[in-house]
Chain A
Amino acid sequence: MTIGEQAGSPGIATRRSLGQRFRDALAPILASKVALVGLGLVSFWILMAIFAPLMTPYGPLEQDPEAMNLGPSAEHPLGTDRLGRDLWARLIYGARTILVLAPLSVLCALAVGTTLGLVGGYFGGWIDEIVMRILDAIMAFPVILLYLIIIVALGPSAINVVIAITIAGAPGIARLVRSLTLDIRTREYIAAAELRGENPFYVVFVEILPNARGPIIVDAMLRIGYAVFAIGTLGFLGLGLPPPAPDWGSMVAQGRHYIWINPWAVLWPSLAISSLVIGLNLFADGLREETMRYQ
């Protein structure tokens, strides 16, 4: 029922100011407590990453042979690792890499997956058949195996991590976008566009894509969480960023050997990974629930 429809009189100009648009976009987030908690966790890490040099006097690679494997203290709030590096400094500098790599890799996966899904869903026929069968083949591999194969083949580096996550993530996105496209394709405004003789790529990217954005954004939020996970895993397996770099996954891997002497070195990066992933998931869930509620 559309009781809430605006009964605005036609005389009122309806161009809304930028501030109001921003507030409108924010409304569903503010309405959901779950989304707010998620947003809080995520923005904590974003702020720490941005202002990392202000948050700690130490550098992430600075070693102190005097202070190895220490617990939390006034000088080192979270303690130090086996080389005497400050854990807090390594965590917040590590957040910088992970918060760039994870969204970047999801963005790449989105670009590839969305294009394939849109093209397959709109054109149908043998194009769809070929695209979807190839993606099915990729999805048939266990994700972790896929990461390992790609990284081992290309060698560990930040770019290759992005490539691996793109290849592993694109099929899932393509499937989602394809199903959205199949639905939107039947809407009458698409027929109207076709009746104007529009170029198929105009129909796909201008008429269809903007209307599929809601579910794609929510899915992307969840995927950033998975990407954080994946980067952590690759780091733990020694396939992430090469050693001295402060990578959360490799921090866990290195601390693992001293876990009985210094559990803090394992605990903090693990907590960091899970808090960021949980934050992203809560945010995505809250957003989805809130946008679905009044439909």
Chain B
Amino acid sequence: MENIKTPVLRVENLAISYKMRKGEVPAVRDVSFEIYRGEALGLVGESGCGKSTVAFGVVNFLDRNGRILNGSILFQGRELRGRSEEELRRLRGNQISMVYQDPLAALNPCLRIGEQLSEVLIVHRGLSKEEAYEKCIEMLKGVYMPDPEAMMLRYPHQLSGGQQQRVVIAIALLNNPALLIMDEPTTALDVTVEAGVLDLIAELRREFDTTILYISHNLGVIAYVSDKVGVMYTGEIVEQASVEDIFLKPMHPYTQALMRCVPKLGESKESSYLPPIPGRVPSPTNLPPGCIFAPRCDHARESCRQKHPELREVVPGHFICCHFAEEIAEAEWQPPEGLVPELTTRGRRENASEPILQAEHVKTYYKQRGKSLISLFGLGKKQYVKAVDDVSFELPKGCTLGIVGESGCGKSTLGKTIVGLESPISGKLEFLGFDILAPVVKRDKRLIKELQMVFQNPDSTLNPSFSVGYQIGRPLRRFRKVSRNQERKEVIRLLNAVRLDASYYNRLPRQLSGGEKQRVALARAIAAHPKLVICDEPTSSLDVSVQAAILNLLLDLQKEYDIAMIFISHDLSVIRFFSDHVAVMYLGKVCEIGPAEAIYSPPYHPYTEALLSAVPIPDPSAEQKRIRLGGMVPSALNPPSGCYFHTRCPRKLGDICEEQDPPRQIAGKEHYIYCHIPLKELCKMEAVVTLAKDTKGNS
């Protein structure tokens, strides 16, 4: 029936290129798709694959150096290419709306929310102020904004990230657009907030029958919001099908590889292996002559390298750009040889060994200057941001502790406190029996050597002015690991240890990709053979295929050098995969800590339960309980009394939660839950996630 209707958006053979200093860069080539009314098409792919360029190209909103070379864009049957700027402008506000990644950049910081909302109606619809106001209130209610009247009077900075994104979505929906383009709208948000926004998007589709072009790099999010999915790779769509087909029966080798390299919630390093995609994404200026994926494909044959495959319909409704899609779909994927025995040795060692790191009641507060006039002279009341508030744990030798929590929960501050970049105000912190409360400048050089850190941002982790070899060699010289004439050899050995070859020695950081930079940073961290490495979100700015490689590398290095690790991340699946023990943090406090498998199965702390229920799972058949946290995260400057989580807790008992600190309850061997709810009650909880394939759930 749908085939009779004209699609809301039909893109045919779209090609877009950017003009760079080196010449034209074909960012998007030969992309075709169509979206019908009420449908959501998800475009998924790794960074630089051209998915955002497609979105901007549709409304001809490319950067100044971008140009549409070829193809046609039919919006409700009418051609958009070649329209005047004025016509497009009117269309963009009226019929096509866009929502971008950063809500704060989309809102004008000096206008009230109400003004920004009603402007859309006044400009595009010519409504009066009063009418527009009414409509806006209605729309804010529609996006589940609490207290819409008060919201209308606020400025963007007075809203939380999730609320800001709701406002942006409300603005986008005000004119009831025929097409809504969303470019990574939840990427900058925390999981619990993201879950709320994704629910909202699903709700809107049911209610307004909105047509959506949804762009994301996150397979889980795409699985949740879309009906149809297009998988993009270096500027081309390589597979396009319904969401079930893509996730349950992927046929293109790239899609399959992509699915395999993401850790599923519940998978651990003992039970599974993440096969990374070998090689790297080819540069659009230097594409392989045949299939663009051939250089990285396990199934590539001679013909793949010579002839570029066409996008063809292999099964009705399932388009694949591969010569051998049928054969590949048939064959079961076999893990590389020698992997299975290796998995068992990845397992945890005996915990009998002495703890390498002990933290007791560690508190790290930041002083905040008061806003009153007296505090200018240092007389006002001092306020403290309680970034880490009374945290205790032990880390056995060679083990990994995962610290998970949303932004602002103090997990990074805890990491920095341990290495000495921040100083705790009280508590006990012992490393190998030595007191390490002192900041790094006051620590002994031998102690400094044992504690190293891997950082989040690959672009700022290496000094852009020095070669790779110099930067890896520097710790060797500092700590006199090897004699001067052996230095070059040792650096090359380290480069090999992180799977880079000697030719990288003289490269500068700007000549490396994100994953390679992170490898070099790893080599630098392990150069002095530290006993403890703190990894602060080492993979969160990397693409999933690269993430898999880095995680595997970390595991190998950990085994080889016998390093204990603290792994900080906001990604629950990665934490589960990587860690032996997990600590869940909220507002500077640990609310649950224990062995990884115990954290991910009942009994849960109510916050852990909410976190798990919010993780987007790249599997449309998985069942997940729906627990959504209301309210905003309280300020760490002035945390709530009693249990910090009581303001948002869906299982709040009553006054006791507001008045008393939660007791530590022993839920199992080394598994502690900080909650007032009796353990018996907590044990009755059901598992949050049930995967269809194995009914064991996520235990």
Contacts and interface: CB of A to CB of B under 8 A. Distances in A.
A20 interface: no
Contacts of A153: none
Interface in B455-511: 455-457, 460-466, 471, 474-475, 478-479, 500-501, 503-504, 506-507, 511
Nearest to B52: A1
A8 B511 contact: yes
Contact of A195 (B284, B440, B463, B501): B440
Contacts of B420: 195
Interface of A: 1-8, 10-15, 31, 187-189, 191-192, 194-198, 207, 210-211, 294
B27 A197 contact: no
Given A188-B461, A192-B455, A197-B440, A3 B503 contact: no
Given A4-B285, A10-B503, A197-B440, A191 B20 contact: no
B56 to A, nearest CB: 11
Interface size classification for chain B = 35 or more
A31 B471 CA distance: 32
A2 B471 CA distance: 23
Interface stretch (B360-368, B445-453, B591-599): B445-453
A5 B440 contact: no
B500 A10 contact: yes
Of B22, B25, B48, B503, the most chain A CB neighbours within 10 A belong to B503
18 contacts: A3-B27, A4-B283, A6-B511, A7-B280, A10-B501, A14-B511, A188-B456, A188-B457, A188-B460, A189-B460, A189-B461, A191-B421, A192-B521, A194-B440, A195-B448, A197-B440, A197-B441, A294-B20
Interface in B625-650: none
A195 B445 CA distance: 10
Given A7-B283, A188-B461, 10 more contacts: A1-B27, A5-B513, A10-B500, A10-B504, A14-B511, A188-B460, A192-B455, A192-B521, A196-B478, A211-B465
Going nearest first, the 3 A-B pairs with the smallest beta carbon separation are A210-B465, A188-B455, A7-B283
B353 interface: no
B669 interface: no
Interface string B20-58: 111001010000000000000000000010000000000
B531 to A, nearest CB: 14
A32 to B, nearest CB: 12
A14 B524 contact: no
Given A12-B503, A195-B452, A197-B478, A211 B463 contact: yes
A5 B283 contact: yes
B429 interface: no
Nearest to B534: A195
B564 interface: no
Interface in B217-243: none
Given A188-B456, A191-B455, A14 B461 contact: no
B286 interface: yes
Contacts of B503: 10-14
Nearest to B23: A4
A195 B453 contact: yes
Contact of B460 (A11, A187, A195): A187
Nearest to B464: A211
Given A10-B504, A194-B440, A4 B455 contact: no
A188 B461 CA distance: 5
Contacts of A14: 503, 506-507, 511
B404 to A, nearest CB: 21
Contacts of A4: 20-22, 25, 283, 285
Nearest to B513: A5
A6 B283 contact: yes
Contacts of B445: 197
B47 to A, nearest CB: 8
A8 B280 CA distance: 10
A288 to B, nearest CB: 16
Contacts of B25: 3-4
Contacts of A207: 463
A207 B48 CA distance: 30
B440 A3 contact: no
Contacts of B21: 4, 31, 294
A158 B663 CA distance: 77
A196 B448 contact: yes
Contacts of A196: 448, 474-475, 478-479
B681 to A, nearest CB: 44
Nearest to A197: B448
Contacts of A5: 283, 513
Contacts of B474: 196
A195 B513 CA distance: 24
Contacts of B20: 3-4, 294
A8 B507 CA distance: 11
Contacts of B441: 194, 197
Contact of A198 (B421, B455, B478, B525): B478
A189 B269 CA distance: 30
B524 A192 contact: yes
Interface in B558-576: none
A207 B470 CA distance: 12
B458 to A, nearest CB: 9
Contacts of B501: 10-11
B587 interface: no
A3 B461 contact: no
A6 B512 CA distance: 8
A5 B471 CA distance: 21
B18 A3 contact: yes
B346 interface: no
Given A8-B511, A195-B448, A1 B48 contact: yes
Interface string B332-355: 000000000000000000000000
B443 interface: yes
A192 B440 CA distance: 11
Of A6, A15, A188, the most chain B CB neighbours within 10 A belong to A188
A51 B407 CA distance: 65
B546 interface: no
B460 A3 contact: no
A194 B475 CA distance: 11
Contacts of B453: 191-192, 195
A230 to B, nearest CB: 32
B419 interface: yes
B282 interface: yes
A188 B517 CA distance: 12
B463 A194 contact: no
Nearest to A5: B283
A12 B506 CA distance: 11
Nearest to B463: A189
A288 B22 CA distance: 19
A195 B283 contact: no
Nearest to B443: A197
Contacts of B284: 3
A6 B445 CA distance: 39
Contacts of A6: 283, 511
A188 B283 CA distance: 27
B282 A7 contact: yes
Nearest to A2: B48
Nearest to A208: B463
Contacts of A11: 501, 503
B415 to A, nearest CB: 11
Contacts of B471: 189
A194 B283 CA distance: 36
A211 B510 CA distance: 13
A203 to B, nearest CB: 10
A195 B456 contact: no
Contacts of A10: 500-501, 503-504
A172 to B, nearest CB: 24
A277 to B, nearest CB: 30
Interface in B388-436: 419-421
A139 to B, nearest CB: 23
